[in-house]
Amino acid sequence: MEQPNLSYIQSMSRGDQAFEQKILDIIKKEFPEEKKIYFNNLKKHDYKLTAENVHKLKHKISILGLEKSYAVAVAFENNLIEGNTSLHQEFESILNIITNYLQQL
């Protein structure tokens, strides 16, 4: 499975390491919060709100260079709007990969 990378963040920073650190700190703070809300809403079967959560999480997926995973997130968000949760395991694997990656930074 593809792994996260910092290419996009580095293209933004133009060598500004303070900015890179700032973005990573924000992601490290926001990502677990958004993930928690996602799981809560999924558990409550509130798929409209879960779709909103996936929408927000998919931005971080793209920032971390996960192009294929981003496509999964887009499909999952659209499915959730229709009440279909079939991609949740695949999506949650992506969340796990990001969680592990952020812990190592």
- Contact set with other proteins (CB under 8 A): 8, 11-14, 16, 19, 22-23, 26-27, 29-30, 48-49, 52, 55-56, 58-60, 62-63, 78, 81-82
Q: What is the DSSP string of 66-91?
A: -HHHHHHHHHHHHHHHTT--TTHHHH
Nearer to other proteins, 7 or 100 (CB): 7
Min dist CB 98 to other proteins, Å, is 13
Min dist CB 31 to other proteins, Å, is 9
Distance CA 105, CA 89 (A): 25
Q: Tell me the two tokens of residue 105.
A: 């930074």
